Structure formats: structure tokens, C-alpha cells
Structure 1
Amino acid sequence: MTQEYWRWKENNWKSADKDWTKAEIVTAGIDVGSVSSQAVILADGELYAYASMRTGSNSPDSALNAITAAMEGTGLTLDKIHYIVGTGYGRVNVPFAHKAITEIACHARGANFMGGNKVRTILDMGGQDCKGIHCDEKGKVLNFLMNDKCAAGTGRGMEVMADLLSVPIAEVGPMSLEVKEDPPPVSSTCVVFAKSEAMSLLKQGWPKNKVLAAYCSAMAHRVVTLLERIGVEKEFFITGGIAKNIGVVSRIEKELGIKAIKSEYDSQIAGALGAALFGKALVEKGGKKK
């Protein structure tokens, strides 16, 4: 069987010290993205369980797979969840959701929870796009910008590069830092061009770590260009799968001259977490509660 170097590890988690049966309000957020899908379950506004899965061929199945994985081993079932909010690329195709809310709003709310109310600028590095978001102390969106040109500066682009170089996706970031200094970046405007350039560099004798350094540098610079258009405050937080790539994050921080706020939470769950928080607020305002 051919190894799929791009394939990142799916995972789920549940709290060992919380009991959802004792909660007054149980809510869930489902973030169906173009590459990954997350489900987060809150018990009275506290993180109870979550799952991060690969998005499949259709949004409804991906949403169900994510929430099923999050509920695994908890005894919880869909009918026991008081309110479910869908978000992300496939948010309108979550059949069991009570409401759909944009990923911009949900990532801002989730980042506010994960990074604290000091967070003001958020970078969401997703599978097919990147977003720069400004929010207030409550996680309310004030302004945002989005790149929508190509997958070159996104998670999917990084998966393509990992497969091309036969480097496991989790090792891309650390390996890209194994250079004395960064080489000139490859194309950051088109994943096809970037792939072609990378292949050419390999034929020229470049080692894999140098090629990855060139690609991570290109990704970082493209993201920084987006952020500079919206403006970056030092209370800076990164969400999405690429936030786990130290090769990209460290280069973004260096170019901006700002360190991103660190968090104990999985950066990929921000959107689903924000959706679940919105669900709790909606129940408290008199929304549906089964």
C-alpha cells in the first residue's frame, strides 16, 4: 500500500472530569471544512469533547462522522444535545443542526475562548483559504479579509508538498527549519506552480529540507501580506491546521515581529468551538432546548 504522506492524524478527546448528564445545557458545534471537519461538545459552556476528522465526499456524512467521533465513549446521543450549530464550508449541509453561522464569526468566538479576551487579531489558516480577522474583547468580529485565489498558501497546498517530497505532514514544519538560512521562496500564488518549482529544485540537487524551507517561507510571506492589509495587533492568535506547523508559524512571527498567543487547545477546533459557544448563547436567549 502506498504511503499517504499528506494524511494527518484524526483524533478525538473527551474530558475525564466532566459529566454531561449533570449539565443544564449541552451544545455542539460542527465545522465542516473543505479538508477537515471538527465537532465540539460543550457542557454548560465548558469543553467536554471534540473530534477532528478528514472531510469526506459530502458534507452531511462528514458532519455526522465528526459528531459521532466526538460522542464516542461518552454515552451521549444527538437527541440529548440541546442545540447544534453548523459552520464552515459545508455549514448549510449539516442536517441535524438547528442553525448555521459563518466560520468568520465562529473562529473569532472560538479564538476568544482559546486565547483569552485579549485576542484582537486572528489568522485562520484553513484547508483552502486564509482569513485575517479583527475582533473585540468578546470575540465579536469587527473586520476581516480573506484570500481566495489558490490553495498554495493553505493546508491543502502543504499536503500536496508533503506528498511530492514523501515527507509525513507532521514532519514538514520541523524539517523546514533544518537550514542555516532560508532560501528564496517558491511561488505562493499557485499550488501547481509551487509544485513545478519544487520538482525543479529537487532535480537541481536541493535537499528536501531546503525545498520545504522555500515553500514554508512562501506560505508565511503570503499570509503576512494578507495580515498587513488588515493590520495586526500584538494580541495575535492563529487557528486552523497550519497553526500546528512550526515552520510556517515561526516564519510568520519573525516577519511580523510578533509572537502568536499560545494555547493548550487544539488549533483546529476553533471554528467548531465558536459554533458550540453560539449554541449555548442561543439556548440562553430562549432558543430551542430539547
Structure 2
Amino acid sequence: MASIGIDIGSTATKGVLWNGSGFEFYLTPTGWTPGESAAKAVAQVRRRGHILKNEDLHVTATGYGRNVFQADKRVTEITCHAAGAHYLAPEASTVLDIGGQDSKVITLGPDGRVTDFLMNDKCAAGTGRFLQNMAVHLGCSLQDFAAIPENTPFQPINNMCTVFAESEVIGLLAQGVAKESICLGLLDSVAQRAANLISRISDYGDICFTGGCAQNGLLGKLIEKKTKRRVIIPERAQYAGALGAALIGAGM
């Protein structure tokens, strides 16, 4: 029997199919209808995996929208991200996940099971949504944040509250500060916030960086510099939650 994991996030819905020997992946924007986005992800990975019959399938849902989708099983984000990250980077003892609207740190035992976790879901500061909002004011894309030259002059950002940071960014632009310098300052602020969150429950070992923000390699380097620990960004970092759900559904 094939196992599908669906991670219904605030920004993107990820689907992963495990057929016992390999994976199929699919990602789609969550939009205003998370249930429909999840159904689309299931249909796409089924098609790619040539799974035609419902009786050949087990679906496990996770993420903030897991309760709006009919699945065989529902599992918390913490458990699924831990399982997925451990599969992707078994040497890591800590998981840092920065998604669209929240960030979380999970510590793992040698077997990959959760030993502790800390989650920031009360404020958008330091998340993908924060960077997305700042990109709008800077007139650039999130991809531009990842393409900043390493020799770019650094512009510190004093405010992490989205509202105050917007005002600060607008003021810096009015002063003629280069967009690249502001972008680097914003990334550094996110990295510092992540490092502070990590330090509250974890102080050693490699860190597996997952979530949509893990696609920004420069952010990973900044977190590595601030924590003085190796930060691993797996190739499928954004799919960690869905991958973990698929593995849990398969009894792994």
C-alpha cells in the first residue's frame, strides 16, 4: 500500500507519496481553500505514482489545515517535521523549521524521536510572511533575497515587528540606502531571531533547516554563523513535514 503525506501550510501545501521504494513530490499554493489545495496535491502525487485505486492508498495529513481535509490519519506538525527531518538529515540533533507564518525548533533523540520543541506562532516576525511583506516594500522578490552578493554592505534593521519594520525600511529607502543592504539586514534579523529560538532548547549538534525559508541558502549561512553550528539544508527541505507524514503513514 502506498502512503501519502499532506502538509497543509499557511502558504503552501506539500504532498509526498512513498510507494515502498521511492518518493513523488508535489507543491501548490494553499490559497483560500486549503481543503481543495490538499485534494489537488493528493491527486497529483497519485497520478505521478500511478496509484489508481483508493484501497491502495493511506493518507496522513499534517500542518495548520490538517483538520479541514478528510484523511485516514492526522498527525501534529512537530511529529511529522521531526520524522521528515530525521530521514533527510539523520546526523542532525535539532530541527529549525521556518514556514510562512510560524517558526519552530525541535530537538531529537538518536532515534529521531522528539525530545523537546519550541514554537513561535503568535507573531509573523522572523517568518516567510515577514520577508514577503518586506519584499513588497522593497520592490523585489524573495528570490532576490537569496541572490545578495556576499560583499554587500550590511544595513542593520532595528525592528522585527512587521509594522515597525515596514516603516523603518521605507525610511531607509528614502535615505538612499541600497536595497541589497536592507535585504541583508532583514535576513540577518531573521537569522538572529532563529538563533535565539534555538538557544532556548538546544546548544549542540548539527541543525537541519527545513520549511520554505530554507530555500534561501544565505539565510542558512547567517544562522550557521550566529549559532556556530553546522546548518544542513536538505534538497527537499520544504517537504519535510509531508515526507514525515508519509513515512508515519507507512509505519516507518
Same fold judged by TM-score > 0.5? yes
Do the aligned partners of 1:38 and 1:53 also contact (CA within 8 Å) in 2?
A: yes
Structure 1 gap ranges (5+) = 1-24, 283-290
The Cα offsets for residues 73-116 of structure 1, whole Å up to 9 and x where unpaired, read as 44324615431100000111121x10100000000000011012
Rounded to whole Å, the distance in 1 between the matches of 2:66 and 2:53 is: 17
* Secondary structure at the counterpart of residue 124 of structure 1: strand
1:113 and 1:150 map into 2 onto residues whose CA distance is: 29
Q: Which residue of 2 aligns with 1:112?
A: 86
Could you tell me how far 1:139 is from its partner in structure 2? 1.9
**Is 1:184 aligned with 2:184?**
no
Partner of 1:287: none
1:169 and 1:59 mapped to 2: Cα distance? 23
* 1:101 aligned residue (75, 78, 82): 75
CA distance in 2, matches of 1:271, 1:252: 21
Q: How does 1:209-248 map to 2 (within 5 A)?
A: 209-248=180-219
**Residue of structure 2 equivalent to 1:48:** 23
Q: Which residue number corresponds to residue 271 of structure 1?
A: 241
User: Which of residues 89, 105, 120 in structure 2 aligns to 1:147?
Assistant: 120
Cα-Cα RMSD: 1.7
Change (3 A) 1:60 1:209: same
Partner Cα distance (2:205, 2:49) in 1 = 39
Q: Which moved more, 1:99-108 or 1:133-142?
A: 133-142
Please tell me whether the aligned partners of residues 30 and 86 of structure 1 are also in contact (alpha carbons under 8 angstroms). Answer: yes
Q: Deviations over 1:106-158 (max 9, x none)?
A: 00000011012x22100011111110100112221110001123212101111
User: Distance between the aligned counterparts of 1:176 and 1:108, measured in 2?
Assistant: 33
Task: Tell me if structure 1 keeps the 8 A contact 2:17–2:49.
Answer: no
- The residue type equivalent to 2:227 in the other structure is L
1:1-290 matches, cutoff 5 A: 25-44=1-20, 46-77=21-52, 79=54, 81-95=56-70, 97-116=71-90, 118-175=91-148, 177-180=150-153, 182-188=154-160, 190-263=161-234, 265-281=235-251
How far apart in 1 are the matches of 2:228 and 2:149? 20
Indicate conservation of the 8 Å contact 2:214/2:233, yes or no: no
Letter in 1 for 2:250: K
Percent of residue pairs identical: 35
How many pairs were matched up?
A: 252
Deviation per CA, 1:195-232: give whole Å up to 9, x if none: 11111110010111011011111111111111111113
Structure 2, gaps ≥5 residues long: none
Could you tell me how far apart the structure 1 residues matched to 2:39 and 2:149 are? 36
Summarize deviations over 1:11-38 as a string: whole Å, max 9, x none.
xxxxxxxxxxxxxx31000000111110
Match of 1:11 in 2: none
